[in-house]
Amino acid sequence: MEKTSVLFICMGNICRSPTAEGVFRRLVKNAGLEHKIFIDSAGTHAYHIGAVPDARASAAAEKRGYDLSALRGRQVSPQDFHVFDYILAMDRDNLANLKSICPPEHARKLTLFLEFSTNFNEREVPDPYYGGAQGFEQVLDMVEDASRGLLQKLERDHALRD
């Protein structure tokens, strides 16, 4: 069976998208589905290629039991549009950036990550980079909620349970 693949996207790949990757990775592991879902994250810009996640994002994640230490920043590549089934942007600006470089035949893979949220009316995960610790907590709240919704969709649409 081919894995279902999910790519989380923000601007620099050091705050929101690695947080989403870490949260979703643990949720998938806890569901026993890591052999059926491939997860990664990237940024639309090349600001932080090879960098570890922002220390504030890592600290907030660690308080909730998520480990982001193995993740490194990378920029989205043309190959990603062919490899990934779901390419989930954290905000409209990054979604627009993705749409501008996405081959038309893969445009259906692009959406906002918070489209999978059930508890938030917002559709954009705010960038916490220039704010305080509370912004990283808010990102985690949103990401945890949308991750649960995404996993439910994948289980429903891809019959992931044995």
Catalytic sites, residue numbers: 10, 16, 127
As a whole number of angstroms, the distance between CA 131 and CA 116 comes to 25
As a whole number of angstroms, the distance between CA 111 and CA 116 comes to 10
Phi, psi of 158 (to 5 degrees): -115, 10
As a whole number of angstroms, the distance between CA 69 and CA 26 comes to 13
The contacts found for 94-99 with CB under 8 angstroms, 24 or more apart, are 94/9, 94/10, 94/11, 94/44, 97/44, 98/9, 98/44
Handedness of CA 102, 70, 91, 4 (dihedral sign): positive
As a whole number of angstroms, the distance between CA 41 and CA 76 comes to 8
